[in-house]
Amino acid sequence: MRTKARNIEPSVRIGKFGATHTTVEEIKRQLKARKLVKVKLLKNAPVEDAKELGAELAGKTTAQLIDVVGRVVVLYRA
């Protein structure tokens, strides 16, 4: 999955409002359509730890956290 994730662009961006309900719903929608989603945390996102947010997003979207590189989170749902 990590290899496949390298070839896709981030399709969801989380900014200054953080991971809102709308953002989580969009991630769910994209996971249903694509199975693999890359989320970019912008510099103004109120996030201390990208791994922690990735785990939180995985829990809220019933997905697996595949990878966290810098401020990019990769999620997968079978």
- At position 72, the amino acid (one-letter code) is V
pLDDT at res. 3:
85
- Please state the rounded mean pLDDT for residues 52-64: 95
Q: How far apart are CA 7 and CA 62, in angstroms?
A: 23
Q: How far apart are CA 3 and CA 29, in angstroms?
A: 22
- pTM, two decimals, is 0.90
Q: How far apart are CA 19 and CA 55, in angstroms?
A: 12
Of the pLDDT bands very low, low, confident and very high (cuts 50, 70, 90), residue 67 is: very high
